[in-house]
Amino acid sequence: MFQELDVRYDNSFREEDPTPDSVALIFRGDAVLARKTEKGLALPTFGELPEPGEKRAFRYAFTLGSRSFFLADQTEGGTLPEEGEDFSFVPTREYRAMGPKETVFAAAVGESLHRWYGAARFCGRCGAAMRDSDTERARICPACGLTLYPKISPAVIVAVTDGDRLLLTKYQGRAFKRYALVAGFNEIGESIEDTVRREVLEETGLRVKNLRFYKSQPWVFTDSLLMGFYCELDGSDRITIQESELSEAGWYARDEIPSDHSNISLTGEMIERFRSGK
Ligand SMILES: [Zn+2]
């Protein structure tokens, strides 16, 4: 999966200034300022920036291995570097398929933070301009005290099995056309196990038992945290698909499972794990 790195991701809260070796995360819409090299995506260091930005326009974001990353603040002013000869804005849909995975991960995490800071400029309760907390990654309203934390939505990915068969789906009306598993967001007041049971029932009409948590994946492309579960069919295997969510759903024997699935996602790993008999 794309976030399983060979270097340590440290996102503890810090206030720090960039050095020439620090990496700049600069976004325009859903694209990151980067260079495309033979080795894949390369993000600019402060030493390489075509036109150095003012320090106040960057926030410390996180450290990967020995490199620290700083996020451009495009919401509260400050001049920012523009595209240069070497650097251009590379869209997410393009860079997420590129390597190296540490760089793709850094860009995607930065983009999620960038979306959140952009959406947390003003207080949703009283409308005042919000400011950064001095002690944690949060935005605080100086007028009414509301505190906002980065947005992370919990969601489930569910592999429903029936002996040697796996339930595969295809999403309705989305760019992602490969085989997938049942998936959906947790609702307020609901345990994650109940999310699994509800999503399977809503999307396919099936009931499940013996839920087993597999692993989680921070899916920063959509600001969500995916939790992967395997579970077994309980009762009838007759599928009734929810047409607003799925275009297709069906039972596939282990040796019929297509190998056409994502290799960066938890979904892809869970399908492959079942297919290879683990
Ligand atoms: Zn407020």
Residue 91 maps to which CATH number?
3.90.79
Q: Which domain covers residue 23, as residue numbers? A: 9-119
3-state helix, strand, coil in the chain (%, to 5): 20, 35, 45
| Domain identity same for 169 and 110 | no
Greater pLDDT, 28 or 107: 107
- What CATH number has the domain bearing residue 243? 3.90.79.10
Residue 206: other Cβ atoms inside 10 A: 22
Q: Would residue 186 count as lying in a domain? A: yes
Greater pLDDT, 29 or 165: 165
Q: What is the pTM of this model?
A: 0.86
Greater pLDDT, 25 or 76: 25
Report the pLDDT averaged over residues 206-217.
Answer: 97
| Domain identity same for 48 and 78 | yes
Q: Would residue 100 count as lying in a domain? A: yes
Q: What is the per-residue pLDDT for 138?
A: 96
* Vertex 25: Cα angle to 20 and 26 (nearest 5): 115
Q: Would residue 1 count as lying in a domain? A: no
Question: What is the percent of the chain with per-residue pLDDT over 70, rounded to a whole number?
Answer: 90
Residue 39: other Cβ atoms inside 10 A: 10
Per mean pLDDT, which of 30-39, 69-78, 166-175 is the most reliable? 30-39
230: amino acid identity, one letter? Y
**Cα(62) to centroid of ligand 1, in Å?**
28
Indicate the average pLDDT of the chain.
Answer: 89
Element spanning 272, H or E: helix 266-275
**Cα(17) to centroid of ligand 1, in Å?**
29
**Cα(141) to centroid of ligand 1, in Å?**
5
Element spanning 252, H or E: strand 246-253
Q: Would residue 237 count as lying in a domain? A: yes
Is the model's pLDDT at 174 over the cut of 80? no
Greater pLDDT, 175 or 224: 224
How far is the C-alpha of 11 from the C-alpha of 136, rounded, in Å?
A: 11
Q: What is the per-residue pLDDT for 81?
A: 63
**Cα(75) to centroid of ligand 1, in Å?**
18
Is the model's pLDDT at 230 over the cut of 90? yes
Question: Which residue is associated with the tokens 């402060």?
Answer: 46
Q: What is the largest distance, in Å, between two alpha-carbon atoms of the chain?
A: 64
**Cα(8) to centroid of ligand 1, in Å?**
36
Q: What is the per-residue pLDDT for 8?
A: 94
**Cα(133) to centroid of ligand 1, in Å?**
14
How far is the C-alpha of 200 from the C-alpha of 274, rounded, in Å?
A: 18
**Cα(57) to centroid of ligand 1, in Å?**
24
Residue 92: other Cβ atoms inside 10 A: 17
**Cα(130) to centroid of ligand 1, in Å?**
8
| Domain identity same for 157 and 271 | yes
Report the pLDDT averaged over residues 203-215.
Answer: 97
Residue 172: other Cβ atoms inside 10 A: 13
Q: What is the per-residue pLDDT for 51?
A: 61
**Cα(122) to centroid of ligand 1, in Å?**
8
**Cα(269) to centroid of ligand 1, in Å?**
43
Q: Would residue 135 count as lying in a domain? A: yes
> pLDDT-based confidence at 261, cuts 50/70/90?
low
| Domain identity same for 262 and 191 | yes
Tokens at 150, concatenated:
């980065």
**Cα(140) to centroid of ligand 1, in Å?**
8
| Domain identity same for 107 and 17 | yes
Q: What is the per-residue pLDDT for 236?
A: 95
**Cα(121) to centroid of ligand 1, in Å?**
11
| Domain identity same for 128 and 167 | no
Q: Would residue 106 count as lying in a domain? A: yes
Is the model's pLDDT at 32 over the cut of 80? yes
Report the pLDDT averaged over residues 203-232.
Answer: 96
Report the pLDDT averaged over residues 9-21.
Answer: 92
**Cα(257) to centroid of ligand 1, in Å?**
52
**Cα(71) to centroid of ligand 1, in Å?**
25
Q: Based on the structure, what is the number of domains in the chain?
A: 3
Q: Would residue 4 count as lying in a domain? A: no
| Domain identity same for 102 and 31 | yes
Report the pLDDT averaged over residues 186-190.
Answer: 97
| Domain identity same for 140 and 161 | no
| Domain identity same for 159 and 271 | yes
Per mean pLDDT, which of 171-175, 179-183, 189-193, 253-257 is the most reliable? 189-193
Q: Would residue 132 count as lying in a domain? A: yes
DSSP secondary structure of 140-153:
E-TTT--EE----E
Q: What is the per-residue pLDDT for 162?
A: 97
**Cα(129) to centroid of ligand 1, in Å?**
8
Tokens at 25, concatenated:
């995360």
Instruction: Write out the residues surrounding ion ligand 1, Cβ under 5 A.
Output: 123, 125-126, 128, 141, 143-144, 146
| Domain identity same for 72 and 133 | no
> pLDDT-based confidence at 75, cuts 50/70/90?
low
**Cα(134) to centroid of ligand 1, in Å?**
17
DSSP secondary structure of 105-134:
HHHHHHHHHHHHHHH-SB-TTT-PBPEE-S
Asked if 35 contacts 67 with a C-beta cutoff of 8 angstroms, the reply is no
| Domain identity same for 143 and 92 | no
**Cα(149) to centroid of ligand 1, in Å?**
14
Q: What is the per-residue pLDDT for 52?
A: 53
| Domain identity same for 172 and 217 | yes
Is the model's pLDDT at 153 over the cut of 80? yes
